[in-house]
Structure formats: C-alpha cells, structure tokens
C-alpha cells in the first residue's frame, strides 16, 4: 500500500538560483483520481515556480472547494495556504492582498467554484484588477460531487451520465476579457510546453492574470461525447502562438524576423514572446482577442495560448492609492484597536 | 529507435542490476524479500539453487552485484551506497531452518554414466550438485584432506569458519559422491584410461608467483614463503607461527589474507609493500579496510630490489623508490625517483604477487590442446576441451577468478556433460526460464512492499579486535541479527518488479510522467537513441542502462513512450497513477537453466515437497 512519496530524486536534478530543487516545490502525494488533469497542472505549477526560483514562503495559495481547489495541498508545501469556502477564493485573496501586497498570490479554482457559486466574486475580482494569478482548472463538471454538468459544459457535451447538456456555457475567458482583466490566457493540462510559460508569465504579471486551463476529469468527463476530454482537446486545440517566457536577466538569444514574433516586456522586466504560428495575432488588443475567441468557438475549436495582456495596467493598490509605508499587516494592535474613546470620536462624526 | 522487445529475457534481466552482474545470476531481490519476510529457509534455497554456497559466499563473495546495485546510483541528500547484498546472503544461511529435506532426492537407480572430477573446489562441487540428482555416478579426486579446494586451503578461518565450509561442501558430497581425498592425479592419461563417460577438471590455479631472480632469494628461502602455499600450510595447521616482523609483497586479496593471518600468528609489525601506487591495488576495498583496521600499514611505490641476508639468514629487504608516470596513452611506467633505497628489517617475507595455472600432470600428447598462457583450449560456453569428453571449469578454465565464477562455470559445464552423456548436441542449450507476473492486489496495493527505507547502509558488527587477533579461528564479522537484516533488506528497491507498459491502453494523460519521482518517463516523438537521450524529462546520460520504447500510441499525437531505466525506483507510482492500467508492475523471475530444469519441473521448495509426497505415496 503506498501513498508514499519516495525521497529519492534523479541524481542529475539540479538546483535553481536560490539553491532549491524541484522537490522543494512539491507537496504531499495527490489523492485525486489517477489520470486527473488537475495533477498535471500541479506538476506545471511546481515546474514554473522552480524555474522562476520563487521563494516558496513568499507565495500564498488560496482556493475554494472542489477537486481543483484541493490541489494546493499537492504543491508548494512550504508556502502559505488558505482553502476557503466554495466560490469565495476571491474575497480571501482580496483581503490577504490588501493586508500584504508583498506576497505572490496564486488562486486555484474550478469551473464550478468560479462559474457557478463563485461567479459574482469572480466578476468583481477581475474588474478590480487584483494583483494575482487566478487559475481555473476547467473540467466542465463538478468533479468532487461526482460529475454533474458545470456551467462551462458545452451544449451537447455529454459526461459519464450520458445526457447531453442543454444550457449555454459560461465562457470565462470572454467574461474576463470583457470585465477588464489585464492578462487572459488559456492552457491545456496535457500540454506543459505551453502551460508552464503561461503560468510563469501570469505569476510575473502585475495585475489580475486569469488562466483558464482545460483539465479533463478522467472519471466523470473523459467520455467520447465530452468536449473536455483528452481526445477532444487534442483534436480541437488551436494556439494563438507559441509562448516563451524569458526572465529579465536572461539574454535574448534567438532572433525572429519582424512580424514573426511579438515581444512584450512585463513590469518586472521579464519578457513574454509570442511566436506566431498562423494568422497575425496581436495579444495586446482586447477586442481582437474577444473576436478570435468567438471565431474559434464558431469553428468548434478551443483557442489556447496568451490571448491578451496589458503590461501597464494599474492594480487595485495603485487605483486605491494604498500606502506602501504602513501596509495593514504591519499595524500593531494599538493602532488597529484604538479603544472605546476613539470609536466614540468616530461615531460622533456621523451623528 | 525500434520499440523494445520485452519478450527478450535479457531486456528485463538487465534491469535487475544485481542479478545481471552476478556471474551465476542469483535472483537477488527475490531472496532479499524472503529475508524481509523472515523466510530464511526459502531465501537460502533460492540462493542454494543458483550459487550452491550461500553461507560461504555470504562471507567471502567478491560481490560484483554490489557495485552494480541501483541503489548506489541514487541520491537523496547524499550519494547512496548499494544494498549490502552479500551480507544479507549470509543472514539466510545463519538463520535458516532445515534445508536438507528441501534438496533434490538422489535416485537410487543410477543412470549408468560415470563422471570423474579432478579437484574438489567450488567448480567441481557445482557440477556434481547438478549431476547427482540425475543419477550420475560422480568420482572425485583431490590432493587435500577434505573438500572445498581453495575455499579451504586459502580463505582463512577468521573469514570463513570451518563449520560453514564443511556444511555446504557436505550438502554436495553427501549426495553420494565417491571421494578419493589425498589423491593427487599425476597423469591425465591414467584417468583417460579408466574409461569415464566424462571428465571434469577443476584443479584451480595452484601456482603462486615468486621472485626467483632477486638476490638473496635462495639464501633466505627458509624465511621467504609463497603466499598461497603458506596460507594452505596454515589452513592445514602445518604452520602455526611466524616472525614478529613480516613483510607481505603484493596488493591483492591474497596479500590481505597473508598479512591478517600473520597478525594472528605472532606478527607484530606486519607491513604490506607494493610496487605501484596504493590506489591501484587489486584487493577489494573492504579487504583493504579490514587489513587497515588490524593496524597493517601499506607502503606504496616500493619495488623489491634485494633480500638482505646476514649470516645466512634473512634480516630484511631493500626496496627502490619509484613513481608512476603515465604517457599520453595512459600507459604506466614506474620510474625511480632517485631517492636512497629503503631497507626494511624483517623476520619473514610472504610473496603474494599473483597466481598462475599449471597443468604439469596433463600430458601434451593426448589430443587435449593448450593455447595462450598454457591454458586449455575451450569452448567459452560449453567448457568443452578439444578432447570431447573432457571439460574444464573454475580457475582452471580461463585463469584465477573467484568462487561465484567457478559456480557459474560449473552449472554450464554440468549441462554440457549431461548433454554429452545423453548423446545430444552440447552446443544446443535451453534459454533461461523467465516468469513475469502482475503484482497488483488493489488500487494502491502491490504484492511487494514498495515503501522502501531511506536509511543508510548498515554496517556488519565485528568481533572484539583484541580477541580476534589472538585467535585465528575466531570469525571477525558477526553477521547481521534479524532486526539489522530486516532494516537492510528494506533498502532494496525490488528492481525485479518491472514496469510493463501496454501502449494500446495509454490515453497520454501524463499522470505517470508527473508522479515519477526520478523523472524516468517521457512522451515524445521517436528518434535515434543519441538524439532521444537528450530530449527526455531528465537527461539520460548513463548509456549502460537501456531506454524502454513503446510502439505508436493509440491517440493521434505521433508520440511514443520512452522510459529511461537508469534510476527507476520500482516504486510503482506510475502504475498507481495510471487511470487505464497501461502501466503494471510485474515480477520478473529469471533463472539460469540447470541440468534438472532441462529434464523436469523447476526445483523449488514447493515442487520438491510435491515430489516427496508422490514418492512417499
Ligand atoms: C588467498 C586467497 C583468497 C581468496 N579469497 C577469495 C574470496 O574471499 N572470495 C572468492 O570468491 N574467491 C577467493 N579466492 C579465489 C577462490 O578461492 C578461487 O577462485 C576458487 O576457489 C576457484 O575454484 P575452483 O573450483 O576452480 O578450484 P580450487 O578452489 O582452486 O580447487 C582446486 C582443487 O584441486 C586440487 N588439485 C589441483 N591439482 C590437482 C591434482 N593434480 N590432483 C588432485 N587435486 C588437485 C587443489 O588442491 C584444490 O583442492 C581466493 C583465492 C586465494 C588464493
Ligand atoms: C456552499 C457549498 N455548496 C455546495 C457544495 C458542494 N460542492 C463541493 S465541490 C462542488 C463543485 C466543485 O466543482 P469544481 O469547482 O468544478 O471543482 P472540480 O471538483 O470539478 O475540480 C460542489 C457543488 C459545497 N461544498 N459548498
Ligand atoms: S536495489 Fe535491490 S534489486 Fe535493485 S540492484 Fe540493488 S539489491 Fe538489486
Ligand atoms: S516505478 Fe514508475 S514512478 Fe516509480 S520510479 Fe519507476 S517509472 Fe518512476
Ligand atoms: S498514466 Fe497511463 S494513461 Fe496516463 S500517460 Fe501514463 S501510461 Fe498513459
Ligand atoms: Mg470542475
């Protein structure tokens, strides 16, 4: 019987700039179904954080409820974490971020957690441009409660129950674009070559980075009739372009001819490079992104890659003009609870 | 690259590093699991079947399996050491129950074939063990008092107690071998004239190297001894003392045994002196360790120049100092440093500088050809000489090796003799028997224990040094107790639990790639091996370990599965995380075919019990 994670790693496993190995970014062994797309996303998060040399203790992992929302237990076991209430990850993330803006906020949610019960919270966190990476592990069903259709299930898609869904799906990518999210992308759990750079870019982006990841549920929604199965994704996946993430220090080696590549500099000096595959795609054009998403849906394709980024956006702290001198978390007890007299004085101003 | 043919028995055999490296291909992980389960008797029988001398080898084996052990290639916080395979072997011999009743019955009715054996070392004993159960008459000639060959005459009793040696030698002799001890064969022709159906020569490599031309050699002869002859005379208790100051010349295992024996026979100042740099000494690292532990210093780059004789008696040795110089091709020359020669005083010198074959007793006009270095001309697989009914094995075949090699030769020579005596073609040989069996018992449950220990290698306790140096019969190593044995056994990775991939089932979900702790698995487009090795999840730099390549996968991704066998932990996590059971953990049992496998069912405790029941009925 094993739920053990052996101690041994490949003898060639190297360390990153801060001397950590890949293993330092892992968590406990997953209890999800064998073959779940969510586990691949976990592996991609581990790889992205390792490659970015992130200090694990500077990350806050915040999630709602669902199989997807369980995954923060399976990566970054040396980070902070808050497994919150169903659909309420955005409120917790907002509170934490306002109290301490210095951490890296990684929100993990599911399509049920975001597009059903948490849709209201999602809308507001996107329009407020909270500085975080918000990942939806999108399997088109409620995995944890045994596979009911979720709000992202496509019309006609049939999960294990066999009955095709009849309701129009919520397209989280279009919504995020419409609501003013400053970074919008889509990935597939089965394509780490694309997913890892997207996660790295999302973590580096200042502002609200939204990443929709199609992540097949092997147990309830990997059927021949499903549009969120491994097979369907492999056949219908389209890309805006090949994404490369180039950290600030790294020297840019390959030269592309103009027009073949878009280079976007993020606020921390890192670059996202989008190598064009087919049609001209401008990842800094919000309307264009919405149109491309619509067009792909019409053709029955699933558009992946970096859809939109605004590297100069203003996050919630900028907009509110919060102070960097006295972040909330540094206030002492006396300042936070000034006592009955101070309260009385405040109340007095409203009488 | 072409998809891997896992039906080739050698593919998975190679993955079981220890078994593959063992000359007799002992199924190591199989017996280690039995030890962990406290089934020492069964573990002994698994060993006995493959290597005939579990208790002897568990103390003395050259253990080629250990440097090969996969655990030694791993890393947790530091580099890992191999599993103490050899010392675990001893555990099953030390703690076993009755084994004799599990050994094959010897037919009352003989098959009418008579085979002569010259030399009672491990090679001959193995051939006899494999032929007696088939009804052969075995007639053994040896010039010593008892059986065992060099295991008795050379390996000192503080490394191998007489009871252990006698017990395991007797399991064979008690099968009804006709023994003629203290009978030296001086003429091969005489043996040929006795019309045996076959003859096996297992006379070892009995001639020790000497320094005949060194000045003073003749005059000092009374105190200058040939290492292996001296060890034999100690073993047979003709020699019971040595001087206080002893010089041992040579850096091999014989030298280590000579100096440690000297320490026990009165040598206070015992030194090892070698011509070349100490790091090139041939002795096994553990033998060197043990010698150092008994306060034996080693002097390197000292070339013997002269025995110093005063008043007709040896009083010391003179050495020239050299250094090793390597040319561009890595060829070494020992160049004198020009420093003054060194005189070391001594009472006795033991020369332990190598061993040679010698067949003065084989006439050269019998049709039995000799080739290079005066070794017999043999077929490398059948051990048949140019006289078709004469076979060789052990050190006498290709020069001095070790016990386990002699055993491996013995099994093959026995098959040859059996085929020859049955009128069959000697070169037609059966492949090994292999068995691949799923270990799955439940979603996360396997028939083997995959929760292996992270402990460092356990060290075998030693007897008190003071006592040990006073008593030549006192065994130095005490062996593991049951708890230590269990702890050490749990370090074994079960490399025979093979990862078997069924490509038709794979949906390319990547779960196995993600979970694998040592990044063994990759899904990618195929290519030539050198190119593939650079494109994997983790670099596959150890070319001695194979890549396991699948055929095309059922999905339209144009990829194949590639697994680098190098540091697979056999943890089974890939199979546990695979949603479609495309991976399965299957126990691979590989057994070298023995004479009795060719003739009937495999010799296992179960089949034997069955056979006995039948016989009783
Ligand atoms: C000092 C020393 C220490 C060693 N330690 C180890 C060790 O720790 N581990 C290990 O694996 N190996 C060790 N070896 C090597 C090992 O002993 C031999 O490789 C092995 O015993 C060879 O087996 P064999 O069957 O070929 O012949 P041997 O064991 O050499 O037996 C040959 C027998 O034939 C007899 N004989 C020879 N000629 C005749 C004749 N004409 N008529 C009758 N009888 C004859 C000999 O007296 C002897 O009894 C050691 C060797 C030496 C010298
Ligand atoms: C307030 C509340 N309502 C309902 C539930 C039951 N529930 C648990 S998980 C879940 C759906 C999760 O779906 P999703 O977010 O897509 O996660 P998945 O398991 O598919 O990854 C529901 C409805 C709950 N835990 N809490
Ligand atoms: S770990 Fe066990 S099975 Fe693997 S090579 Fe070492 S002893 Fe053999
Ligand atoms: S058994 Fe499977 S998961 Fe474990 S190390 Fe080997 S390939 Fe990797
Ligand atoms: S876990 Fe199984 S189905 Fe998934 S990729 Fe690996 S072998 Fe294929
Ligand atoms: Mg879901």
pLDDT in tens, B422-464: 999 999 988 999 999 999 998 788 999 999 999 999 999 999 9
Second-level CATH architecture of B497-590: 2-Layer Sandwich (3.30)
- The reply to whether residue A230 touches residue B452, judged by beta carbons under 8 angstroms, is no
Which residues have C-beta atoms less than 6 Å from ligand 5? Answer: A 35; B 506-512, 577-580, 582-583
pLDDT beyond 90 at B472? yes
Q: Which residue has the higher pLDDT, B79 or B185?
A: B185
Ligand nearest to the backbone CA of B404: 1
In a domain? residue A339: no
- Domains in chain B: boundaries: 9-102+440-494+592-616, 114-206+357-421, 208-353, 497-590
In a domain? residue A262: yes
Whole-angstrom Cα distance, residue B228 to residue B249? 12
Q: Assess contact for A39 and B515: CB atoms under 8 A.
A: yes
Query: Whose structure tokens read 């049939």?
Result: A158
Across the range B231-257, mean pLDDT stands at 94
Render B472-524 in DSSP notation, one character per residue: TTS-SB----HHHHHHHHTT---TTEEEEE-GGG-----HHHHH-TT--EEEE
In a domain? residue A329: no
- Least confident span in A221-230, B69-78, B528-537, B607-616: B607-616
pLDDT on residue B606: 59
pLDDT beyond 90 at B616? no
pLDDT category, B602, cuts 50, 70, 90? very low
Looking at 3.60.21.10, 3.30.479.10, 3.40.430.10, 3.50.50.60, the CATH number of the domain B114-206+357-421 comes to 3.50.50.60
Which SS3 state, helix, strand or coil, does residue B356 take?
strand
Q: Which fold has domain B9-102+440-494+592-616?
A: Fumarate Reductase Iron-sulfur Protein; Chain B, domain 2 (1.10.1060)
User: Mean pLDDT: which of A325-329, B13-17, B283-287 is highest?
Assistant: B13-17
Render A292-346 in DSSP notation, one character per residue: HHHHHHHTT-EEEEEEEE-TT---HHHHHT--SSS-GGG--HHHH---HHHHHHH
CB atoms within 10 A of CB A220: 22
| Min distance B495 CA to chain A CA atoms (Å) | 15
pLDDT category, B599, cuts 50, 70, 90? low
pLDDT beyond 60 at B603? no
DSSP B223: G
For residue A65, the enclosing domain spans 22-317
Mutate to test the pocket of ligand 4, among B450, B549, B574, B583 (most ligand atoms within 8 A of CB): B574
A346 interfaces chain B, CB cutoff of 8 Å = no
Tell me how many domains chain A contains. Answer: 1
Q: Is the CB of B83 under 6 A from ligand 3?
A: yes
- The reply to whether residue B577 touches residue A5, judged by beta carbons under 8 angstroms, is no
Tokens for A235, please give them. Answer: 């056949």
DSSP-assigned beta bridge partners for residue B11 = none
Residues flanking ion ligand 6, Cβ below 5 Å: A 110-112, 139, 143
Q: Which of A178, A172, A125 is nearest to A287 (CA)?
A: A178
Direct distance between the N- and C-terminal alpha carbons of chain A, in angstroms, rounded to an integer:
68
Q: Assess contact for A151 and A116: CB atoms under 8 A.
A: yes
DSSP-assigned beta bridge partners for residue B322 = B336
A209: domain CATH number is 3.40.50.970
CB atoms within 10 A of CB B422: 12
Sign of the CA dihedral with A340 first, then A342, A346, and A349 last? positive
Tokens for A342, please give them. Answer: 């101070």
pLDDT category, B516, cuts 50, 70, 90? very high
Element (H, E) at B263: helix B253-264
pLDDT on residue A1: 40
**Residues B361-416: pLDDT tens digits?**
999 999 999 998 889 999 999 999 999 999 999 999 999 999 999 999 999 999 99
Tokens for A328, please give them. Answer: 């909330």
Interface of B with A (CB under 8 A): 73-76, 79-80, 442, 444-446, 450-452, 454, 507-511, 513-515, 517-519, 538-539, 541, 555-557, 567, 569, 571-573, 576-580
Q: Which of B447, B406, B446, B412 is nearest to B429 (CA)?
A: B412
pLDDT block averages, 10 residues each, chain A of length 351: 75 87 92 95 97 97 98 97 98 96 96 98 98 98 97 96 96 97 96 95 97 97 96 92 80 58 83 73 93 94 95 94 81 89 94 90
**Which residues in chain A have their CB less than 8 angstroms from residue B535's CB?**
none
DSSP B250: -
Whole-angstrom Cα distance, residue B226 to residue B187? 25
**CA B62 – ligand 3 centroid, Å:** 16
Q: Which of B504, B503, B502, B522 is nearest to B512 (CA)?
A: B522
Ligand nearest to the backbone CA of A71: 2
Per-chain mean pLDDT for chain B? 93
Whole-angstrom Cα distance, residue B97 to residue B271? 43
pLDDT on residue B128: 98
In a domain? residue A117: yes
Residue of B nearest to A3 (CA): B444
Q: Assess contact for A41 and A135: CB atoms under 8 A.
A: yes
Domains B114-206+357-421 and B208-353 share a fold: yes
Q: Mutation test of the interface with chain A: which of B456, B517, B570, choosing the one with the most A Cβ atoms within 10 A?
A: B517
Query: Whose structure tokens read 């045996």?
Result: B196
Output the CA angle B69-B74-B79, nearest 5 degrees: 105
pLDDT beyond 70 at B563? yes
pLDDT on residue B601: 45
**CA A112 – ligand 2 centroid, Å:** 6
**Which residues in chain B have their CB less than 8 angstroms from residue A37's CB?**
509
**Residues A86-144: pLDDT tens digits?**
999 999 999 999 999 999 999 999 999 999 999 999 999 999 999 999 999 999 999 99
pLDDT category, B587, cuts 50, 70, 90? very high
Percentage with pLDDT > 70 across chain B? 97
User: For residue B512, which atom of ligand 4 is closest to its CA?
Assistant: 3
- The reply to whether residue B579 touches residue A35, judged by beta carbons under 8 angstroms, is yes
In a domain? residue A326: no
CB atoms within 10 A of CB A347: 9
In a domain? residue A211: yes
pLDDT on residue B358: 86
Whole-angstrom Cα distance, residue B96 to residue B78? 35
pLDDT on residue A269: 83
pLDDT on residue A263: 82
In a domain? residue A189: yes
Does domain B208-353 bear CATH number 3.30.70.2860? Answer: no
Count contacts between A and B (CB, < 8 Å).
106
Q: Is the CB of B323 under 6 A from ligand 1?
A: no
- The reply to whether residue B511 touches residue A11, judged by beta carbons under 8 angstroms, is no
**CA B506 – ligand 5 centroid, Å:** 5
- The reply to whether residue B511 touches residue A8, judged by beta carbons under 8 angstroms, is no
Percentage with pLDDT > 90 across chain B? 87
Across the range B99-106, mean pLDDT stands at 93
Burial class (CB in 10 A: 0-12, 13-18, 19+), B323: middle
Q: Is the CB of B184 under 6 A from ligand 1?
A: yes
């Amino acid at each position: 019987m094993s739920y053990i994670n052996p101690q041994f790693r490949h003898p060639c496993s190297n360390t990153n700039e801060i001397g950590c190995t890949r293993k330092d970014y892992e968590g406990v062994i997953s209890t999800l179904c064998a073959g779940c797309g969510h586990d691949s996303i976990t592996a991609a998060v581990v790889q992205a954080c390792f490659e970015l040399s992130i200090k694990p203790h500077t990350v806050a992992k915040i999630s709602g409820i669902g199989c997807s929302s369980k995954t923060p237990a399976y990566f970054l076991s040396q980070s902070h974490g808050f497994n919150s209430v169903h659909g309420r990850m955005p409120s917790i993330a907002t509170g934490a971020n306002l109290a301490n803006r210095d951490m890296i906020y990684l929100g993990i949610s599911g399509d049920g957690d975001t597009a059903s019960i948490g849709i209201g919270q999602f809308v507001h966190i996107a329009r407020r441009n909270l500085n975080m990476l918000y990942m939806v592990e999108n399997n088109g069903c409620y995995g944890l409660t045994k596979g009911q259709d979720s709000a992202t299930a496509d019309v006609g898609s049939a999960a294990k129950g066999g009955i095709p869904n009849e309701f129009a799906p919520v397209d989280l990518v279009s919504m995020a674009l419409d609501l003013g999210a400053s970074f919008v992308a889509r990935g597939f759990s089965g394509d780490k070559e694309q997913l890892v750079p997207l996660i790295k870019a999302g973590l580096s982006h200042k502002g609200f980075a939204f990443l929709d990841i199609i992540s097949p549920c092997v147990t309830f929604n990997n059927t021949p009739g499903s549009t969120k199965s491994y097979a369907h994704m492999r056949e219908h996946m389209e890309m805006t372009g090949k994404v490369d993430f180039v950290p600030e220090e790294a020297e840019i080696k390959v030269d592309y001819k103009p027009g073949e590549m878009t280079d976007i500099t993020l606020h921390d000096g890192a670059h996202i490079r989008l190598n064009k595959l087919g049609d001209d795609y401008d990842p800094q054009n919000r309307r264009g992104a919405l149109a491309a998403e619509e067009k792909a849906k019409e053709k029955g394709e699933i558009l992946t890659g970096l859809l939109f980024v605004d590297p100069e956006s203003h996050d919630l702290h900028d907009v509110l003009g919060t102070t960097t001198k006295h972040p909330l978390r540094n206030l002492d007890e006396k300042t936070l609870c000034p006592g009955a007299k101070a309260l009385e004085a405040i109340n007095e101003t409203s009488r | 690259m072409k998809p891997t043919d896992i039906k080739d028995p050698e593919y998975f055999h190679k993955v079981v590093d220890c078994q593959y490296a063992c000359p007799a291909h002992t199924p190591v992980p199989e017996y280690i699991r039995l030890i962990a389960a406290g089934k020492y008797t069964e573990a002994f029988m698994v060993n006995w079947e493959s290597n005939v001398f579990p208790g002897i080898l568990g103390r003395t084996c050259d253990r080629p399996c250990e440097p090969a052990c996969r655990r030694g290639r791993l890393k947790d916080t530091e580099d890992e050491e191999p599993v103490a395979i050899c010392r675990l072997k001893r555990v099953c011999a030390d703690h076993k129950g009755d084994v004799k009743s599990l050994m094959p019955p010897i037919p009352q009715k003989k098959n009418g074939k008579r085979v002569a054996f010259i030399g009672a070392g491990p090679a001959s004993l193995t051939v006899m063990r494999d032929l007696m159960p088939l009804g052969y008459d075995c007639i053994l000639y040896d010039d010593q008092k008892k059986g065992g060959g060099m295991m008795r005459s050379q390996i000192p009793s503080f490394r191998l107690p007489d009871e252990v040696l006698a017990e395991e030698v007797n399991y064979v002799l008690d099968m009804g071998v006709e023994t003629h001890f203290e009978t030296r064969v001086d003429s091969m022709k005489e043996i040929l004239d006795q019309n045996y159906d076959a003859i096996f020569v297992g006379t070892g490599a009995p001639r020790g190297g000497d320094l005949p031309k060194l000045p003073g050699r003749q005059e000092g002869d009374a105190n200058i001894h040939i290492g292996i002859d001296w060890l034999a005379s100690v073993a047979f208790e003709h020699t019971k003392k040595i001087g206080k100051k002893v010089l041992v010349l040579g850096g091999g295992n014989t030298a280590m045994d000579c100096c440690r024996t000297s320490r026990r026979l009165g040598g206070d100042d015992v030194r090892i002196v070698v011509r070349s740099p100490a790091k090139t000494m041939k002795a096994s690292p553990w033998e060197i360790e043990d010698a150092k532990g008994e306060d034996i210093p080693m002097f390197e780059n000292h070339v013997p120049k002269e025995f110093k004789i005063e008043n007709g008696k040896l009083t010391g040795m003179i050495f020239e100092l050299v250094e090793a110089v390597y040319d561009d091709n890595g060829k070494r020359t020992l160049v004198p440093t020009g420093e003054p020669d060194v005189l070391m005083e001594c009472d006795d010198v033991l020369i332990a500088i190598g061993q040679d074959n010698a067949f003065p007793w084989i006439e050269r006009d019998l049709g039995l050809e000799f080739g290079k270095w005066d070794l017999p001309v043999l077929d490398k697989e059948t051990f048949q000489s140019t006289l078709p009914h004469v076979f060789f094995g052990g050190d006498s075949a290709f020069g001095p090796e070790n016990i386990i090699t002699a055993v491996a030769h013995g099994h093959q020579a026995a098959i040859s003799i059996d085929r020859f005596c049955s009128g069959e073609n000697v070169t037609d040989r059966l492949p090994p028997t292999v068995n691949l069996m799923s270990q799955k018992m439940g979603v996360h449950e396997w028939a083997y224990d995959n929760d292996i220990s992270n402990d460092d290698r356990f060290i075998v306790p030693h007897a008190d040094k003071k006592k040990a140096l006073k008593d030549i019969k006192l065994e130095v190593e005490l062996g593991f107790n049951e708890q230590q044995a269990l702890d050490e056994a749990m370090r074994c990775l079960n490399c025979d639990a093979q990862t078997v991939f069924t490509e038709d089932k794979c949906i390319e979900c990547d779960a196995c790639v993600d979970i694998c702790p040592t990044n063994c698995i990759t899904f990618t487009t195929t290519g030539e091996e050198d190119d593939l090795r650079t494109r994997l999840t983790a670099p596959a730099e150890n070319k001695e370990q194979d890549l396991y390549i699948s055929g095309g996968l059922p999905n339209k991704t144009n990829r194949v599965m590639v697994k680098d066998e190098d540091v697979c932990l056999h943890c089974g996590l890939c199979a546990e995380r695979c949603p479609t059971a495309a991976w399965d953990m299957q126990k691979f049992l590989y057994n070298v075919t023995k004479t009795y496998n060719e003739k009937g069912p495999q010799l296992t405790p179960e089949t034997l019990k069955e056979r006995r029941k039948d016989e009783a009925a």
